[in-house]
Structure 1
Amino acid sequence: MKKHLFKVVLSMAFGALLLACDDKEKDDVTPVEDTEYKFIRVMVNDEVSKELVLVDPVKLTAEKFEAQFAKSTLYGTQGGRFGAILNGANNFVQLFDTGFEGHGDHVDVKGTPKFGALTGDGNKPTHFKSKGDEIITFNDGDGTLSIAKEADFHTAGKKMTLINAGNVAHHGAMTKFDNGTYAITEKDGSAAGTLPERVKIIDVSGKTLFASTIQTKGIHGNATNGSVSLFGSSSGILAVEPTGNQQLIAHPADFGEAWFGSILEAKGAGKFLGYTAAKGVYIIDVAAKSVTPVLASTDIMQAKVDYAGNNVVILLHSGELRIYDLKTNTLKISGAVTGATAKDETQKPQLEATSRYIYITQPKTGELLVVNAANLSKINKVKVSATPYRLAILGFESSEGH
């Protein structure tokens, strides 16, 4: 009888232990969030009006503001807090503040969303980059750079600082290295048109530190990881280092006259991408000097690296969306999210993405599509403006407040 009672008690204790362990495992499992991060915002502007909209993708609400000009290009800063609004036609740059201040493990709210006080008045600001707490524009009208620090974004009357590198006017670009120097395009006149042919290294005063060593037949599109900068070129992919070393990486043999007019950095995956509508999206390996296809297609309408730089999101003219994991170069998910768009359409849908959601403008309906990245059939719509033009992701992939 005692043995039997002991066995019963032991069995009950063991069962309770298993149940406790099972409950603990359930407690330890982190639930998959079905909403966007709390501190992400989507900034959308209009092609015709001055309307600027800040979308909260969790609440699916749109807060409206009035920018200085319509039909501007929009960018997010590397720091996450601010957005930049460039209007080359009117020689104007202005900043927008989300009010979110990132602190690594959490985000503080510093006031309400509003425009910054600092402005830029460079000659046709066209190309934008952000590095650390600095923003940079390349001014096509005279080949200069304009820079500003985040600490000055709310200083009344403050203007972006001009850097004259001795350039002539051209449709150029620049990057900033981790050591504080800049790689900037220059035009020597050897190729017809406004595209530059060379890249040189300058300091913050505009002084040339390392002259160009490679002449190309035309440059467009660029990106950097801080230690090497890549420039799209019809002669090959131009890789430039802060030491002044330069080399060309050849395009795939079947490219013919095609070349990458867009270069993207995927920070999370530690890779570079090249995109051309004539061939598709490819991974560029600088060390191996190799170019590998992610999606070889002539039907790509938009290709963007997501906010963290882990995936590339590709929207086809057919309306199909594809998400590729750049660490493994594999397709994660695909599905139809919009109707088809004609290749000759004047204003096409624009695309940006976080790790959780895809955002696509609808110029004909005035809406922003909010697409669940884990289930492409889950789509919400937010009315933004009559003719949405561009969009940018701002804020932080975090839901942790102070």
Structure 2
Amino acid sequence: MQNLTRTLLKPAAAMLFAGILASCDKNESEKAAPEKLESQHVRLLVTDQTSPAVTLLTPNKKSQETFQGSFAGAALYPTGSGRFAALVYGANNLVEFFDSGIEAHGDHAHIKGSPKWALTKAAAAKPAHFSVQGSSIAIFGDSDGKLHNINETELHTSTSTRAISVGSPHHGAVITFLNGTYAVSDKAATGAAPWRVKIVNAQGIEVGSPSGITTTNIHGNATDGVTALFGTPQGILKVQNSGQQELMPYPASFGANWLSSLSYGAHAKTFLGMSATAGLHLVNPVAKTFTSVGGITQYARALYDAAGQDILVLQADGRLLVFDGATGAKKAEKSVLNLIPDVTAAAPFLTASSSYIYLTNASQGKVHMLDKTTLAEKHTFSVGGTPSRITLIGADLNGEGSE
């Protein structure tokens, strides 16, 4: 019996020893997998609905600092380099610029001083449309029919933008082509229609032959730098920088609905058309096709991430979805009602880096940071007030150099 006991104990001891080794290996593995951090140079700028407070978030350090803008409720747009953000106060006839202090250079970024306000201000009358191409910035003033333009390199040296008359005042649209010309909407001086798009140079002079294509309305625009798309009730108006224009008819399934908002995803190299009635569609201006994104017809927010790689969609029922911007394939889906119980009361604004999604929560004064792959919450910034618009500036990079 003694021999039998010894024989049974040996395998048991071996199993125990193996278990200890496995446990050690697991612990070592867990220690070897550090927490995934946001890129070092990513910054988030957040404006407030009811106060001029502007909050700058540094997710990598989970830190924040507050600045004072000129007015409450600014819309936010990043400049072409991502170094600056434009704060557009449509009701207050003003645009001002905020400098993140981060300048991207290919695979690394330079620190360019501390975060601060730029010198330039644009006194546009009811500024509503903002366009960038490279370092060029253009703003359309609805109430003055003027383009207000400037180069990023001038934002700390010029007190104001240059104003160029391009037509009669109207709720317009503008895009900037790579060749330095602009495609701008042009409405009849009296009456509701017709509308058309014309191409003007940096002096506001129309170039090329005027197009004979007119529509009953124009709203929404996007460009890849060579081709521009404008939303109209008659179809998507495709405008080349050469001046050539054509209307792309909507699918019969649209009925009377049309795409009144458009975006271009630079990384995905696709156009996204949107409306509250027609839903979300990838628009291919070459094949002249419209491809539904996830069969979505109703949404609270929809946009490309900061790189123009993925499409972020927030549904009215609280579902957050991520789609591949090139193919439209769904990559992630999860409800955020545990964070924001009612997304329809004050629809959150959102943006995303390559790794994280950021969601404003106006009712609780928070900004939620979610893992882009799992949509799990990783951090909450308590910014106070009623945070509204949010945009990513700086650079989604880790390499650093100082100047």
Q: TM-score range by the shorter chain?
A: 0.7 to 0.9
Q: Name 1:182's counterpart in structure 2.
A: 182
| TM-score, L = length of structure 2 | 0.87
Deviation at 1:292, TM superposition (A): 0.6
List aligned pairs for 1:166-315, cutoff 5 A: 167-188=167-188, 192=192, 197-210=195-208, 211-315=210-314
Q: Name 2:74's counterpart in structure 1.
A: 72
Deviations 1:140-189 (A, max 9, x none): 0111100011121111x621001111x11111011111111000001126
Deviation at 1:106, TM superposition (A): 1.1
Q: Distance in 2 between matches of 1:220 and 1:191?
A: 17
List aligned pairs for 1:336-375, cutoff 5 A: 336-338=335-337, 339-341=340-342, 343=344, 345=345, 347-375=346-374
Change (3 A) 1:175 1:327: same
| Amino acid corresponding to residue 211 of structure 2 in structure 1 | S
> How big is the alpha-carbon RMSD for the aligned residues of Structure 1 and Structure 2?
1.8
Q: Name 1:397's counterpart in structure 2.
A: 396
Deviation at 1:380, TM superposition (A): 1.8
Deviations 1:263-310 (A, max 9, x none): 010111111110111132111011111001112333311011011111
Q: Name 1:95's counterpart in structure 2.
A: 97
Deviation at 1:125, TM superposition (A): 1.1
Change (3 A) 1:235 1:341: farther
Deviation at 1:94, TM superposition (A): 0.8
Q: Distance in 1 between matches of 2:161 and 2:197?
A: 23
Verify the 8 A CA contact 2:194 2:214 in the aligned structure 1: no
Change (3 A) 1:196 1:75: farther
Q: Distance in 2 between matches of 1:213 and 1:397?
A: 43
Q: Name 2:37's counterpart in structure 1.
A: 35
What residue ranges of structure 1 are gaps of 5+ in the alignment?
A: 1-30
Deviation at 1:396, TM superposition (A): 0.9
Identify which of 149, 154, 170 aligns with 1:152.
Answer: 154
Q: Distance in 1 between matches of 2:328 and 2:132?
A: 27
Change (3 A) 1:32 1:202: farther
SS of the aligned residue for 1:205 comes to coil
Instruction: Give the length in aligned residue pairs.
Output: 367
Deviation at 1:33, TM superposition (A): 7.3
Q: Name 1:8's counterpart in structure 2.
A: none
Q: Distance in 1 between matches of 2:268 and 2:159?
A: 37
Deviations 1:59-93 (A, max 9, x none): 22221000011111111111110010111222111
Percent of aligned positions that are identical:
36
Q: Distance in 2 between matches of 1:37 and 1:57?
A: 8
Change (3 A) 1:253 1:309: same
Deviations 1:169-218 (A, max 9, x none): 111011111111000001126863xx872110000001011323211111
| TM-score, L = length of structure 1 | 0.88
Q: Distance in 1 between matches of 2:105 and 2:196?
A: 39
Verify the 8 A CA contact 2:366 2:380 in the aligned structure 1: yes
Structure 1: which 4+ aligned runs deviate by more than 4 Å? none
| Amino acid corresponding to residue 198 of structure 1 in structure 2 | R
Q: Name 2:10's counterpart in structure 1.
A: none
Q: Distance in 2 between matches of 1:33 and 1:329?
A: 30
Deviation at 1:341, TM superposition (A): 3.3
Change (3 A) 1:279 1:109: same
